[in-house]
Structure formats: C-alpha cells, structure tokens
A and B are shown apart, each in its own frame.
Chain A
Amino acid sequence: MPAEAFHEWLRREGRIVIVGASLAGLRAAETLRAEGFAGPLTMIGDEPYEPYDRPPLSKAALLGMASPDHTELPRRRDIDATWRLGVAAAGLDMAARRVRLADGEEVPYDRLLIATGVHARPWPKEDEAQLDGVFVLRTRDDAVRLHRRMKGPPRRVLIIGAGFTGSEIASACRNQGIAVTVAERAGAPLVGALGGVIGAVAAELHRENGVDLRTGVMVTGLEGDVTGRVRAAHLSDGSVVETDVVVVSLGATRNTDWLEGSGLGAGPRGIACDAGCRAFDFRGIVTDDIYVAGDVARSPHPLFGYQFLSLEHWGNAVAQAEVAAHNMISAGADRRPHMWVPAFWSSQFGVNIKSVGVPSMGEEVMITQGSLTERRFVGVYGYQGRVIAAVSFDNTRWLEFYQRLIETGAPFPVEFTTVDRRPEGRKPVPADFPDPSLPTHGPTVTLSGYSPADRQLVFTPARH
C-alpha cells in the first residue's frame, strides 16, 4: 500500500492502543480524535481510575483544599475509547504488534503510544518500607492514604528528600501546624534541580517556616514498634528522629519494566525516541509504529545540544502527547518535532517557583531581577556563554521573556539593564550544583545524554 493510502486507511480504521491512562495518554487520545482519527482506540491503565491530575496531590490535596480522589483531568473532548483500567501492560510483541496485559489478554495495534510515566522510588529496604506510616506520594491512592494520616494529626512527619515533592509536602505540613523534619543528602533543598545558590534560599524558606531541616545527612534506617508502626528514623550523623509518619520523596523511576525483552530501546532512564516521538528499538533503529510521550520518554532536544532529555513536567506531557498523536497518523512530511522548552512550577511556603530551560545544565547563575534576600527574584543560568535556563521566585510573569532568551541562544552573562536589577545581580556566580557522581534525590530534570558525569548518576540506597 502506498504511504498516502496507508495513512488514509490508518486514520479511518487503524487500531491505536495507548498504554498509560494519565495526562499524556488522555491528551494524546483527544488529539487523535480532534485530528480525525476514527478507528478503534484502546486506553490501558494500571490504576483503576480514569485520568486524574497529579500536581494537586502534593499541594491543595494535602492542605485539605481539594479532595485527593477528586482531581479528575478536565476533558477536551469525547475520545470514544475502550478503557482497560486497573490492568497493567505486561509485555510487548513488536513483531506481532500486540500488547500483553497482566490478565493474559493481548491487544493488537497498528499504532502504539507508550505513556506509562514513572512511579515513586520506594524506600529501598523492603521490610522498612512495609512499616505502617511509611508513604510515598505519586498516585491518588498514595495521596488518599497520606491525607488520611495527616488528619491524625501525626506528632511529627519525617520527609526523606528535599526535592520539589518533598518540599511541597513539608510546606503542607507546616501550613497545618504539623511538626516536620526534612532529611536531605545535599547541602540544601532543591539543589539537584536548581543548584546551591537557589537552594540556599529554599533552605531559608524551610527554616523560617519552622521545618526542622537536616542537610548533608542520610536516613540510614527506619525503626518500627512492636505493632509494626514506624516510630523512629536513624540518621547518618548518629541522630534519631522520633516520628510516626515518614514520606519517602526520593524521586521517580520510569515504568519500563514491562518492556523487558521486547526489543524496544527501553530502560531505567526511559524509552529513547526521536524528536518526532517515534521509539527506538534497542539497536538504535527508529520504529514507525511505536510512539512515546510524557515522563517515560527520552528525546533529543536541539536547544540543549541534542541531549536526550526525559522531563517529569506537566506541560511537557501535554505538548509531547499532542506531537506524538499528530505524528502517529501523519505521513512523513506532515510530522512535527517535539521542541517544547522545559518548564515546571512548584508552590511551597507561599512562594511560587517556576523554571524554564534546564537549570541543571547551568554553570553559573546571575540574579537579573529582584533579590535573593527578598526571596523575590529571577535567576538566569548560563552554559558556555549562552542563557540555558531561568528560575523565578514569586516573579512568574517575567519568565516568558527569559524563555525567549533561551530559545534564541542569547549570550550569557546578561549585560543589559532591566527593571529591578540590583547590584548583586551584576556578576554571575557559580550555580553550585552538587557533584553529579554523588547520589542525591535526583533532579526533576534528568539529563542523560552524552555526559560522562550523568552516566555515573546511580542511586545508591543507604545502608547501616
């Protein structure tokens, strides 16, 4: 069949299967229908719920401002799909074009989209992770369980890892007057994502809001009482934290186990794909019938040296899903590359934090607007003489401008005058990212391309 006729047939009656029924999967399905795909569509999700929104789970839901089991994603349109919820995908037969489900059933496809996302990295010691009162926070069920326990209220919450999720949970605890200890291996919160200069501001935020912040320490073990409830944590500096709720916030792991042995280029860092979201097989050859989108995808980004980026960003999931869906049913010349500029936001201790670009690539940072001491500022990151990223604390509305600087490869340091430029921002300073060969909670943005240091980034569980 000639390509044109094939795509016409595909749009009309091809079978499309989407594995992963969350944000990326849903938006892809909606885009397929919006662009005229009329064939059968199957949505496979391992959770029993229709797609829901995750950002509120560590923010509004923990504050009791939204119910964790009512954060459904708004629908853009009816997608007329067969839903296979509560059953995980268990295998992929690329040659026969079939997805195997955990219940043994097989679903054939002409085009497959993989949007399986990530799961929270659990506490590495299994018996300790089983203790009552030890939580992770990624899914709606996690949020419901944690929310219920927070209403207790607990005497003290221990959060392991001060990345974005850990910091947001700490903020929610303090907001409700719950005593909280945060243990972080690096020298400050958010260091992996934003570096030590900005991390120091985050540390002040924690401490001023009454968080017992311990940096430069590891949690070496969790201890339960006779009933199997967690009662204390042991830290690498020899101290002990009495606690009845532990939230493990050590980042996430990509959901690719089910693809083992399939021949797809899938591993712990995600599924490699080209800029058009087509997955690579393990030989590095691009497929044309398997696409990936969202947190699980690793794709080359031209703005960032064609490094393969995997991004756990809400906006990225949406943008990538739209591109993948479009390309799945389009012939070569009509396809589009996914060139989304990384951006994410967080809300903690009453401060809105937003970033664009890839801060963790930054060598130096300069404060171009506002002031670190006032904790309202814009910081710009430079990499090899170019602007590579920017972060704002309570200054979100300026970031569009900095995104344009990143997109156009504007020179760094930033020389021009701006409103609200202070003396402290006239000179760049080292951004102070930790040595990437040392394990940490892992940055939200994981650079995993041609970078020897990055390839060293291995999570090493703490041991006694």
Chain B
Amino acid sequence: MTHASLLHRITDYANRANPYPLYEELRKTPVLHEEEDGPYVVSSYYDILGLLHDPRVSSDATNLTAAGADELSGPEATGLPPSFIRLDPPEHDRLRRIANSSFGPPHRPDRIDSMSGELSGIITELVDGFGDARQIDVVDQFAYPFPVTVICRLLGVPREDEPRFRAWVDPIVAALDPETRQRTDDDFQRAAQEARMQLGMYLAGLVEQRTKEPRDDLLSDLAASHGADGTMSMMEVLSTAVLLLIAGHETTVNLITNGMLTLLRHPEYLHRLREDPGLSVRIVEELLRYEPPVQLVPQRTCVADIDLRGVTIPKGSRIWLMLAAGNRDPERFRDPDRFDPDREDIEHLGFGSGIHICFGAPLARREAQLALAELTRRLDNPRLVEDPPPYRKNAVLRGPRHLNIAIDSVRS
C-alpha cells in the first residue's frame, strides 16, 4: 500500500473536520480489514443495523482473542467492573433495567418530561451570562456547561465539583479514541484506568451519603437499588454512575455544537427554527443522522464466525461499526449528504440500535431541542468566525473543540 491505510486516515486528526469523503470511500469496501490484527470495519447502513441486532456480536471485551485484547476492560485493571455498555446479557439487561427504573418508563415515564422547565432555566442562565459580548464560544460558554449542569443535577453530583471530575473524565474519554490507543503506551492506558477508579471513588462518597440521606436524584435511586434482592452491588452502582456521568455530557456537547455549526452553514433552517421552535424536533433528528456525536462504535467483538457480504469475520475479531458512514449510505437514504430536516425517512443510527441503544437518548434529544431553539431565538445575527472550527481530538466522540461565533446582540 502506497498511502496510509484508510482507517488511519479516518482516525487521523487532519481529517477530523470532514471525514465524510473518507466514509464514502470506506463504503466501497463494506467489510474492510486492512491489517491482520486490526478491526473489521463495517460501514453500510443495513450491515451495521444487522450487526447491532446480531447476538453473535458481543460488547464484552473479554471475548476478544489475544491479538485484539482490550487493555481497558478487565476488573483487575480498573478496580471497577465494566459498566453495562461493555457487558452482554444477562448482566447487561439486569443492570440496564435497574438503571432504567429510575430514569424511564414504565417506572419513571415522566422523569425527562418533568425536567423541561429546569432545562430551560439552565439555558436561560447560560445565555444571559453571554452579557453584551459580540463574540462567544458556543462550546465553552454553552454546549459544555449546559449538559454538565443537567447531568450533575440529575445524578445529584455537586456542580461545583466539575473541575475535580473533569480531570478524571478527560483521560477516560481520550482513551476511547482509537488513534490515541494505537499510538500510546501502557502508561496512557493506566492513566485512564486510574482516572476511572478515582472517579468511582469520588462517586462512592456521594453514594454513601445518599444511602444515609436519599434525595430525589439518580444516585439516591441507584444506591437504594442494591438491597435485599442483591440487584446491583456497590461496585455496579459506581460503574453505572461513572457511565451515566460521562455519557451524560460528553456526547450532548457535540450534538449541540454540531447543531449550531450545521445551522449556521444552512441559514434557511436557522431562520425557520427562529420562526418555529417546534422545528427543533426534526432538526435534531436530522442532525443525529447528518452529524452524529458518536461516529463509530469500536467496542464490539464476535463470539462466532459471521459471514457478511462474502467476508467471514472470524470468531474473536474486533468489529467497528461506522455509524456516521451508515447514516450517509445512499443505499438507505436519498441524497444522504444533504442536511434536510424535512425528510420523512430519517431512521438514523445516531443512537445505535438493539439492546445497547443510547440509554440517554430521550434526555439528549430534549436538551438539544431546547438548546438549539433557544440559542437561535436569542442570538441576533449569528455568524461563524471560522469554518471549519477547530475540532476535538477524538474520532469516536467527534465535535468542535471551540465554536466561535460573532453576534450583534443577545436578545432578551
């Protein structure tokens, strides 16, 4: 091969701002296997959907053969057991079910709905905080603090501790990035494991507090769930809390930022959204297809040989599911590279599918809908200061690191 492998080009930071041409190239080899111990990369919509529902595909890294072994897994390494996102049934089902009983239907069908007022309040506060600035960074001043505040309130984590857990979250999230993982040595992985344990210990303190004095938050609910029926152990509570804390904001920040960026690149929708805040529902769905915050799922492995498009993916192989490539698969979506919130057919892979479908999807949707509608309403004449903006390093959780926009004023 004369040039860098396609996969390396995709994870290469240089292509972060617009990886979509590479995804298009990727789809020409629907099951790509470039290096002997490298992953099998799947990029077509229907193949990804099929594998997300395939019980031969496991999320448990211990099923990997030695060649692809995943340093981030084992309980010995981290001190914390894997969270349900890295587990298979029946453990996955049990933990997710318990977590869901304090978050969604049938037990708490109104949890997200009833938060709308609170979400709007947080948004208003942040936008008011822009003051009379003529330029703002959407990421630092809004898209990051908003979901962090929300997930802190939901879980019951003190907002003022954000700088403390930020120091632990960053290395954990960085370790999700395949390029970092390929490049760096064991020290880096150890740092991530160490951070995860530190974060777990920090949360353990809060959980202990909530066990004594329960409040109306998720930590209290999770703490109460490890009881006589042995449903969730203390360690499982901590793993779940770590997962919810991180997943609860690291993705939404990108959804909101990608959303503003996309709207500024498609001003007709910015105007329409200003006229009709209800359009935010369709806009967010199309965003999840067009610029999904989670670009790929690199954490799957197969427990049996899988035949796909004439390729046999051998048992024990690592599989990457390229959600963002599937979302722009012309076999599935008409005119897939067009941002078109009016499209009727919009069943995207932005939240994945199958048993691991995004746990926080209802919250993420609501946050992004309210945020985009309100930013659009209150920012007078917003323009991009640079296009493309600088991106975060991560190829998995992709989004701008900063989104500087110029405005004429902040409306009241």
Question: Which chain A residues have a beta carbon within 8 Å of chain B's beta carbons?
Answer: 350, 368-371, 374, 376, 378, 395, 397-401, 404, 416-421
Asked if B89 CB lies within 8 Å of chain A CBs, one says yes
Asked whether B331 is an interface residue with its Cβ less than 8 Å from the other chain, the reply is no
Partner among B50, B89, B305 whose Cβ is within 8 Å of the Cβ of A420: B89
Q: Which of B49, B304, B353 contacts A418 (CB 8 A)?
A: B304
Is B55's CB under 8 angstroms from A398's CB?
yes
B126 to chain A, nearest CB (A): 36
Q: Is the CB of B90 within 8 A of A370?
A: yes
Asked whether, in the complex, the Cβ of B90 is within 8 Å of the Cβ of A418, the reply is: no
Q: Residue B21 at the A interface, CB < 8 A?
A: no
- Docked-complex contact A397 and B355, CB < 8 angstroms: yes
Which of B56, B58, B315, B357 is within 8 Å of A397, CB to CB? B357
Interface residue B137 (Cβ < 8 Å from any Cβ of A)? no
Our pick among A350, A371, A374, A419 for the contact of B55 (Cβ within 8 Å) is A419
Contacting residues of chain B (34-77) with chain A, CB-CB under 8 angstroms: 49-50, 53-58, 60
Q: How far is the CA of A400 from the CA of B353 in the complex (A)?
A: 11
Q: Which one, A370, A397, A420, A421, contacts B354 given CB within 8 A?
A: A397
Q: Is the CB of A370 within 8 A of B50?
A: no
Q: B53 and A398: CB pair below 8 A?
A: yes
Contacts of B340 in A (CB 8 A): none
Alpha-carbon gap, A368 to B304, bound state (A): 14
Q: Which residues of B contact A398 (CB under 8 A)?
A: 53, 55, 354-355
Q: How far is the CA of A299 from the CA of B301 in the complex (A)?
A: 41
A contact residues around B112 at 8 Å (CB) = none
Cβ-closest chain A residue relative to B54: A401
Contact of B90 among A368, A374, A400, A416 (CB under 8 A): A374
Contact status B89-A369, CB under 8 Å: yes
- CB-CB < 8 A to A401: which residues of B? 50, 53-55
Chain A residues with Cβ under 8 A from B50's Cβ?
400-401, 404
Note all chain A residues with C-beta closer than 8 A to B355.
397-398
Instruction: Tell whether, in the assembled complex, residue A397 and residue B55 are in contact, meaning their CB atoms are under 8 Å apart.
Output: no
Interface-central residue, A350, A401, A421, by most chain B CB under 10 Å = A401
29 A-B contacts (beta carbon < 8 Å)? A350-B106, A369-B55, A371-B90, A374-B90, A376-B90, A397-B53, A397-B353, A397-B354, A397-B355, A398-B53, A398-B55, A398-B354, A399-B53, A400-B354, A401-B50, A401-B53, A401-B55, A416-B56, A416-B304, A417-B303, A417-B304, A417-B315, A418-B304, A419-B56, A420-B55, A420-B88, A420-B89, A420-B90, A421-B55
Q: How large is the interface on B (under 10, 10 to 19, 20 to 34, 35 or more residues)?
A: 20 to 34
**How far is it, in angstroms, between the C-alpha of A419 and the C-alpha of B303 when the chains are bound?**
7
Query: Which residue in B93, B106, B304 is a CB contact (below 8 Å) of A376?
Result: B93
Closest to A76 in B: B344
- Give the residues in chain B near A399, CB-CB below 8 Å: 53
Given the complex of chains A and B, what is the CA–CA distance between A430 and B68 in angstroms? 41
Kindly state the separation between the CA atoms of A201 and B96 in the bound complex, as whole angstroms. Answer: 24
Residue on B with the closest CB to A416? B304
Contacts of A378 in B (CB 8 A): 55
What mask results when residues 354 to 378 of chain B are scored 1 for a CB within 8 Å of chain A, else 0? 1101000000000000000000000
Q: Provided the pairs A417-B304, A419-B89 are in contact, do residues A400 and B55 lie with their beta carbons within 8 angstroms? A: no
- Measured CA separation A369–B58 after assembly (Å): 13
> A371: which B residues are within 8 A, CB to CB?
90
Which residue in chain B gives the minimum CB-CB distance to A421?
A: B55
- Which B residues are CB-close (under 8 A) to A370? 89-90
- Which 8 pairs across A and B sit closest by C-beta, in order of nearness? A418-B55, A419-B88, A420-B89, A416-B304, A400-B53, A417-B304, A401-B53, A417-B303
- Distance between Cα atoms of A418 and B354 in the complex (Å): 15
Q: How many whole Å from B358's CB to the nearest CB in chain A?
A: 13
Tell me the smallest distance from the CB of B316 to a CB of chain A, in Å. Answer: 11
Instruction: Provide the residues of chain A in CB contact with B89, threshold 8 Å.
Output: 369-370, 395, 419-420
Contacts A400-B49, A418-B303 aside, 16 further interface pairs with beta carbons under 8 A come to A350-B106, A369-B55, A374-B90, A378-B55, A397-B355, A397-B357, A398-B354, A400-B53, A401-B55, A416-B305, A417-B56, A417-B304, A418-B56, A419-B88, A420-B88, A420-B90
Min distance, Cβ B303 to any Cβ of chain A, angstroms? 5
Complex CA–CA separation, A419 to B56 (angstroms): 6
Chain B neighbourhood of A397, CB < 8 A? 53, 353-355, 357
Q: Once bound together, how far apart are the Cα atoms of A417 and B89, in whole Å?
A: 13
Q: Within the assembled complex, what's the spacing in Å between the Cα atoms of A222 and B88?
A: 51
Residue numbers in A under 8 Å from B49 (CB-CB): 400
Least distance between A67 CB and chain B CB atoms (Å): 18
In the bound assembly, the distance between CA atoms of A417 and B56 in angstroms comes to: 6
How far in angstroms is the closest Cβ of chain A from B290?
A: 24
Q: Which chain A residue has the least Cβ–Cβ distance from B357?
A: A397
B304 smallest CB distance to A (angstroms): 4
Report the Cα distance A371→B53, complex, angstroms: 19
Report the minimum CB–CB distance from A213 to chain B (whole Å). Answer: 24
In the complex, what distance in Å separates the CA atom of A401 from the CA atom of B51? Answer: 8
- How distant is B372 from chain A, measured CB to nearest CB, in Å? 26
A91 nearest CB across to chain B (Å)? 40
Chain A minimum-CB-distance residue to B93: A376
Which residues of A lie under 8 Å from residue B60 when comparing CB positions? 419
CB of A387 to closest CB in B, whole Å: 13
In the bound complex, CA of A319 to CA of B355 (Å) = 26
C-alpha spacing A420/B94, complex, angstroms: 12
Please indicate the chain A residues that have their CB under 8 angstroms from the CB of B56 in the complex.
416-419
For B90, what are the chain A residues with a Cβ–Cβ distance below 8 Å? Answer: 370-371, 374, 376, 420
Chain A nearest CB, measured from B256 CB (Å) = 28
* Chain A nearest Cβ from B324, distance in angstroms: 21
A370 vs B355: C-alpha distance in the bound complex, in angstroms? 14
| Closest CB in chain B relative to A199 CB, distance in Å | 23
